[in-house]
């Protein structure tokens, strides 16, 4: 049975359901499995499974205190008609590269893949652990997590959800998706600041013992829907296994043949899931980490120094506009030989000085990773060239990954078959996409541009966009970054 321990060494090991309920360890660390289990089936067996069947086999070893009936029910309720394709996460072959389309869920971003199941995992965990308190999901978002979490938890009994986002740091459609969210238990607030400010504010609230006592006294307890929650991370492993299995089934690769994976990366959760899949035995060769102009991760992989002391850049790929990649802590813990002391020392340095440097020994354990980045001009050029060459339209985040992969290929001449994680629908970033294609009309709003994108691509406008076109604004709270705790109190009537 897999238990979960803090990356900083505090507290006792907890079960999967307890880790999901807590979200963050009490010492500020992240929950990490006491061992990474091997894939329980052969790659050939996976190639004959549906997405839902794969999800059960991959997740069960990590969520070992859930009964088979409980876990299968969570999966059944998550991966259903909310997805507009039976395949759930189809692969599109474009110019010899396989784009793993992770945007077919309710909010047209990859966060749906995990946030469709997290509410079910959490409510099951509440019952398993006989929790009487109401669960308050407190989350910071750089654009996509917020809406996916709101949609997942809306009107879920025994929960409330409060989402903070950078007021001027998300796309107009991302913002409209959040501020029109229905549900008596949903709350949304913009902050004057960037995503890192929102994320730091949320972490501060989690770490405030006095605040925790106030919550408990009023029948509440905090949890998170960010990728720091292992209930977010574990479901993300599934689609890498399923993608490999589909390539095997279609005869695109042979059994055991390695593939590369390219992931546009901000908070490091999505690529960490691929790293976990590799550690479970999935034949992944290179883990290619693609950054935008906020290239803190590129610099880290190149130098071994993580340094957030730099200018924050607002880009056309806002979900990656992050300077503190929370999930990187799990990788640091892993390459430190699962030493909580080493990891904790580095995280203290990050907290006090904004930077840390890993040892030569730790750097040697990063050979499987390659870091690259694309600037704004390269991102736009990639959107235009992929459409011009292949008629396939990608969003800016996917374009960052595609551009970085092109650079990687030129640099290494590596011909290994490659999967690119396509993390959002182009309809979520219509202005940036249309501008890159030279088709933007500055007089039109993002919804009129969505109509133009439909004319251009022939791809149906997703309900996630169509449904909010005329929806009323239901959430208009905006606050300073040091007022976030007060906003939480107001939302909960404390």
pTM, full prediction: 0.94
**How far is it, in rounded angstroms, from Cα 261 to Cα 253?**
14
Q: What's the sign of the alpha-carbon dihedral 323, 326, 327, 329?
A: positive
Tokens of 358: 């890993």
> Which pLDDT does position 138 carry in this prediction?
95
392-432 per-position pLDDT tens digit: 999 999 999 999 999 999 999 999 999 999 999 999 999 99
Report whether 66 contacts 16 (CB < 8 A).
Answer: yes
88-112 per-position pLDDT tens digit: 999 999 999 999 999 999 999 999 9
**How far is it, in rounded angstroms, from Cα 46 to Cα 39?**
10
> Which pLDDT does position 145 carry in this prediction?
86
**How far is it, in rounded angstroms, from Cα 127 to Cα 117?**
16
Using the predicted structure, report yes or no on whether residue 142 has a pLDDT greater than 90: no
**Coil/strand/helix, residue 307:** strand
Count of alpha carbons within 13 angstroms of residue 349, beta-carbon side: 14
Percent of the chain with pLDDT over 70: 100
> Which pLDDT does position 11 carry in this prediction?
87
Using the predicted structure, report yes or no on whether residue 144 has a pLDDT greater than 90: no
Beta strand residue intervals within 86-239, DSSP E: 91-94, 97-101, 134-140, 159-166, 186-192, 220-223
What are the helix (H) ranges across 23-143? 43-47, 51-59, 68-78, 111-115, 118-128
3-59 per-position pLDDT tens digit: 999 999 998 999 999 999 999 998 999 999 999 999 999 999 999 999 999 999 999
**Coil/strand/helix, residue 32:** strand
Q: Which residues are catalytic?
A: 111
Question: pLDDT category, 296, cuts 50, 70, 90?
Answer: very high
- Among residues 180, 119, 45, 40, the alpha carbon closest in space to that of 473 is found at 180
């Amino acid at each position: 049975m897999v238990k979960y321990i803090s990356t900083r060494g505090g507290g006792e090991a907890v079960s999967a359901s307890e880790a999901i309920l807590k979200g963050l360890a009490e010492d500020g660390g992240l929950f990490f499995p006491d061992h990474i289990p091997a894939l329980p089936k052969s790659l050939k067996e996976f190639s004959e499974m549906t997405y839902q069947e794969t999800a059960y086999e991959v997740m069960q070893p990590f969520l070992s205190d859930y009964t088979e009936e409980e876990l299968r029910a969570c999966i059944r309720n998550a991966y259903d008609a909310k997805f507009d394709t039976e395949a759930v996460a189809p692969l599109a072959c474009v110019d010899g590269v396989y784009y793993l389309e992770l945007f077919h869920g309710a909010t047209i971003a990859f966060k749906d893949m995990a946030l469709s199941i997290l509410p079910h995992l959490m409510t099951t965990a509440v019952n398993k652990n006989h929790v009487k308190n109401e669960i308050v999901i407190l989350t910071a978002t750089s654009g996509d997590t917020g809406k996916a979490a709101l949609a997942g938890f809306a009107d879920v009994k025994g929960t409330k959800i409060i989402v903070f986002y950078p007021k001027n740091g998300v796309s107009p459609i991302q913002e409209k998706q959040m501020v029109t969210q229905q549900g008596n238990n949903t709350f949304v607030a913009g902050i004057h600041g960037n995503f890192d400010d929102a994320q730091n504010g949320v972490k501060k609230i989690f770490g405030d013992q006095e605040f925790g006592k106030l919550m408990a006294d009023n029948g509440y307890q905090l949890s998170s829907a960010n990728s720091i929650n292992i209930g977010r991370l574990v479901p993300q492993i599934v689609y890498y296994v399923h993608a490999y299995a589909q390539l095997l089934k279609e005869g695109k690769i042979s059994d055991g043949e390695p593939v590369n994976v390219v992931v546009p990366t901000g908070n490091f959760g999505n690529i960490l899931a691929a790293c976990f899949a590799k550690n479970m035995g999935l034949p992944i060769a290179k883990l290619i980490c693609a950054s935008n102009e906020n290239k803190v991760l590129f610099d880290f992989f190149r130098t071994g120094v993580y340094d957030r002391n730099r200018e924050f850049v607002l880009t056309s790929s806002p979900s990656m506009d992050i300077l503190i990649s929370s999930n990187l802590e799990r990788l640091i813990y892993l390459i430190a030989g699962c030493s909580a002391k080493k990891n904790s020392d580095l995280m203290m340095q990050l907290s006090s000085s904004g930077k840390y440097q890993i040892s030569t020994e730790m750097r040697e354990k990063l050979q499987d990773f390659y870091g690259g980045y694309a600037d704004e001009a390269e991102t736009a050029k990639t959107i235009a060239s992929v459409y011009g060459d292949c008629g396939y339209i990608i969003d800016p985040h996917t374009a960052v990954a595609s551009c970085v992969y092109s650079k990687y290929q030129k640099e290494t001449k590596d011909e290994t078959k490659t999967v690119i994680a396509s993390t959002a629908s182009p309809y979520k970033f219509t202005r940036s996409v249309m501008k890159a294609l030279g088709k933007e009309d500055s007089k039109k709003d993002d919804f009129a541009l969505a109509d133009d994108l439909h004319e251009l691509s022939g791809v149906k406008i997703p309900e996630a966009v169509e449904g909010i076109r005329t929806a009323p604004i239901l959430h208009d709270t905006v606050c300073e970054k040091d007022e976030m705790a007060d906003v939480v109190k107001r939302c909960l009537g404390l």
